[in-house]
Structure 1
Amino acid sequence: MGMDIMKMVEVVGIALGVIGLILTIVICALPTWTVKTIIAGNVATTEVVMYGLWMSCVTQGTGKTQCEVYNYMDNWEYVLQPARAMIPTAIILGVLGVMFSMVGAKSTNCIKDKTSQAKLIIIAGILFILDGILIIIPVSLVARSIISDSSTQIEGKFELGASLYIGWVAAALLLIGGVTLCITVGVFGWMMGIFGWILSLVASALSVSIPFMHYPEPHYRHIWMVLMTTSISSILGALGVMGSIFGTRCCNCIKSNRIRVKARFIVGIFFILAGILQFTTVFLVDHYLRMDVHLQLSPFALFTQHKLVILAEVCRWSASMLLIGGTILCCCIFKRNQPDSTTTTSTSR
C-alpha cells in the first residue's frame, strides 16, 4: 500500500513538471509579457501594444492585429534580454527533466534497478527545481520593471501581461514537482542542505569582499565576527554535504541500513549547526545596523548598509534551508527500525 502511494506521488510530481513545461513553452511563444494601451480620441484609433520575447503585436480598436519581429532595440527589449536567454534554457532543462522522470519512474518499468531509478528521479527533480528558478527570475525582473515604472505618459502606461502570471504558475508547478520527486526518493533533506550550503558559500564570499570595498578601513569594524560565523558554517555544511552523499539510499557506499540512518542523523546535526551559525550572522548584522553610530555618520553608510542587508538576506535563506534539511535528516532516526541489509534472516525451524 505504501509503495502504491509513493508511485502516485511520483506520478503527481511528473505531471506537475509536464504542465509547467507546457506553460513555459506558451510564455516563450506568446507576445503578452507587457501590455500598453494607447488611448486616442475615439475607440477606432485606440491601440493595444503587446510585447513578447521575440515579437510585438498591435491590436487596433477595429479588431485588426498586426505582429512583427523586433527589428530595432528599444528600452523594453533590453529589459526582456535576460528572459530571452533563461526561458529557452528552462525549456531545454524541462524537456530533459521530463525524459529522465519518465525513464526513472517506477510505473514505467523502463529500468529494473531501483538504484538507477532513484538516481534518474533525483536528476529529474533537480532539473525541475532549476527550471522553476530560471523562470521565476526573468518573470519577476520584468514585473518589477513594469511596477517601478511610475511614468504617466500621454500615450499610455505599461501593464503586466498574461505571460507573467502564466510564468509564475509554471515556476510554482515546476518547483513543487521537483520537490515532490525528491521527496519520493527520500533525498529532499540533503538537497535542502546542499542548497543552503551553496548560499552559505555566497555569504562567505560577501563577508570577505566587504572589507576590500572600503580599504584601508572598513566601516563595519566587526566584520571579522561575520566572517568567522559564515566560514565555520560553510565548513560544517561541506562536511554535511560529503556525509549526505554516502548516507542516501540511492548510493551504495553504505550497505547497512542502521549505519546509513546514523550517518543521516550526523549529517542533519551538521546542517542544523551550520543553520544556527547563519542565523547568528543575521543577528550580528541586524544588531550592527541598529546600534553602530559610526555607520550612521559615515558618508558611505548607505552603500555599506546596502551590502550588509544583502548579506543578511542571503544568510537568512541559507539558515532556513539548512535547518529544514537538517531537521528532516534527523527525523529519520525516529522511523521504525528496518532490517539490516547486510544480515541474512534465519530460516524458521
Structure 2
Amino acid sequence: MGMDIVFIVEMVEVVGIALGVIGLILTIVICALPTWRVTTIIAGNVATTEVVWYGLWMRCVTQGTGQTQCDNSMWHWRYNLQPARAMIPTAIILGVLGVMVSMVGAKCTNCIKDKTSQAKLIIITGILFILAGILILIAVFLVAKPIISDSSTQIEGKTELGASLYFGWVAAILLLIGGVLLFVTVGVFGWTMGIFGWIVSLVSCYISISHYYYIWDMKKVLMTITSISSILGALGVMGSIFGTRCCNCIESNRIRVKARFIVGIFFILASILQLTTEIVVVHFLIMDVQRQLANLVDFILFDLVFLAELSSWSASMLLIGGTILCCSIFKRNQSDSSMTQSTSR
C-alpha cells in the first residue's frame, strides 16, 4: 500500500512537470509568432485586400495575391504591447528555471536523496510555474481587452483575436495546473491555497481603502472587514512559515498538527470575512444603486463588481486551504494514537 501511494505521488509529480513543460513550449511559441492580433483590411476587390498579423516583435502583411511581407514596424500598437513584451519573456525565464529546478528535485531523477530538500525544490518549481502562468494571463488579458472592447481598433479594418491569445490562455492554465499538482505532491496544497487567497485579499483591501470616497458609510464597513481579513490571513501565513515540514522550524509532530489547525482556523475566518465583503457589495448594488450611484456609475460600478469578484476568489481559496489544514489534524491524531498503542503493547 505504501509503495502504491509513493507511485501515485511520483506520477502526479511527473504530470505536473509535464504540464509545466508543455505550457513553457506554448509560451515560447506565442512569443515568437506574430499572431496576437489579426486585422483584415477589406478593399474594393480581392487583390487589394490585406490581412495584417501583429506579434510581440514584428508585423506581417499578407496581400490578396498571397504575397507576405514582415517587418518590425510596431509603433502604432506599441502601447498595448509594452507590458506583454516584458511579461512573456519573464514568464519564459520563470518556466525555464522551474523546469531546471524540477529536474534536480523530482523524485524520479534521484539527483537529491534527501526528501526535505526534494520537497523544497518541488515547492520552488510550483511557485515558478504559477508565477509564469499569472504573468501570461495578465499579458493576454491586457492585449485582448482593447481588441474586444475598444471600438477605435476597428478604424483600419476588422480586428480579431489572434491564435497566440488562445494558446496563451492554454499555456497559462497548464502552468497553473502543473504548479498546483506539484504542491499537492509535497502536501502543501492547503498552505498554498491559503497564501494565494491572502494575497488576493490584500488587493481587495487596497481597493476598499483607496476607492469609494463618495460613499463614506460603505467605505468604512468595507475597510473594516477587509482589513481584519487581511490581518487574519497574515497571521495564517506567518504560522504556515513555521508549521510546514520542509521548514524544520518545529520538530514535534503534535505541535505541527496544532499549528496547522490554528492556521486553518485563521484562513477560514478570513474567508468568512471576504464572503461578507462580497455580500455587502452585492446587497449595495441591488438595493442602493439607483439612490447612491446615480451620478457615479461610470467610475465606481466597475470597481464594486471587481471587488466582489476578488472577494469571492479570495474566500474560495482561503476556505479550501483552511479546510484542508483543519481536516489534516484527524489523520495525524489517528496515526499518533495508533503509534502509542503499538508502543504500549
TM-score normalised by L of structure 2: 0.90
Q: 1:156 maps to what in 2?
A: 157
| Contact persistence 1:295–1:301 (CA under 8 A) | no
* 2:14 counterpart (11, 15, 27): 11
More displaced 10-residue stretch of structure 1: 174-183 or 40-49: 40-49
1:237 is displaced (CA, Å) by 0.9
Residues 41-91 of structure 1, C-alpha deviations (whole Å, 9 max, x = no match): 433333221010000011223322211112x510x2321221111101101
Q: In the alignment, residue 276 of structure 1 is paired with which amino acid?
A: I
Q: In the alignment, residue 238 of structure 1 is paired with which amino acid?
A: A
1:285 is displaced (CA, Å) by 2.1
| Residues 166/294 of structure 1: CA separation in 2 closer, same or farther (3 Å cut) | closer
Q: 1:332 maps to what in 2?
A: 328
1:151 is displaced (CA, Å) by 6.0
| Residues 31/305 of structure 1: CA separation in 2 closer, same or farther (3 Å cut) | closer
User: What runs of 5+ residues in structure 1 fail to find an aligned partner?
Assistant: none
Q: Secondary structure at the match of 2:75?
A: coil
1:203 is displaced (CA, Å) by 2.2
Q: 2:83 maps to what in 1?
A: 82
Q: How do 1:66-215 and structure 2 match up within 5 A?
A: 66-70=69-73, 73-74=75-76, 76-150=77-151, 156-210=157-211, 214=213
User: What runs of 5+ residues in structure 2 fail to find an aligned partner?
Assistant: none
Report which of the two has the higher share of helix: 2
1:206 is displaced (CA, Å) by 2.4
1:346 is displaced (CA, Å) by 6.2
| Contact persistence 1:25–1:91 (CA under 8 A) | yes
TM-score normalised by L of structure 1: 0.89
| Contact persistence 1:219–1:298 (CA under 8 A) | no
Q: In the alignment, residue 146 of structure 2 is paired with which amino acid?
A: S
* 2:239 counterpart (238, 243, 255): 243
| Contact persistence 2:147–2:153 (CA under 8 A) | no
2:44 is equivalent to residue 38 of structure 1: no
Q: 1:65 maps to what in 2?
A: 68
Instruction: Tell me how large the CA RMSD over aligned residues is.
Output: 2.5
2:308 is equivalent to residue 312 of structure 1: yes
* 2:217 counterpart (212, 217, 221): 221
1:294 is displaced (CA, Å) by 8.5
Provide runs of 4+ in structure 1 moved above 6 Å.
345-348
Q: Secondary structure at the match of 1:159?
A: strand
1:192 is displaced (CA, Å) by 1.1
Percentage identity across paired residues of the two chains: 73
Report the number of matched residues: 339
Q: In 1, distance between residues paired with 2:301 and 2:260?
A: 39
Q: In the alignment, residue 141 of structure 1 is paired with which amino acid?
A: L
Q: Secondary structure at the match of 1:31?
A: coil
Q: In 2, distance between residues paired with 1:55 and 1:301?
A: 39
| Contact persistence 2:225–2:274 (CA under 8 A) | yes
Q: Secondary structure at the match of 1:59?
A: strand
More displaced 10-residue stretch of structure 1: 115-124 or 34-43: 34-43
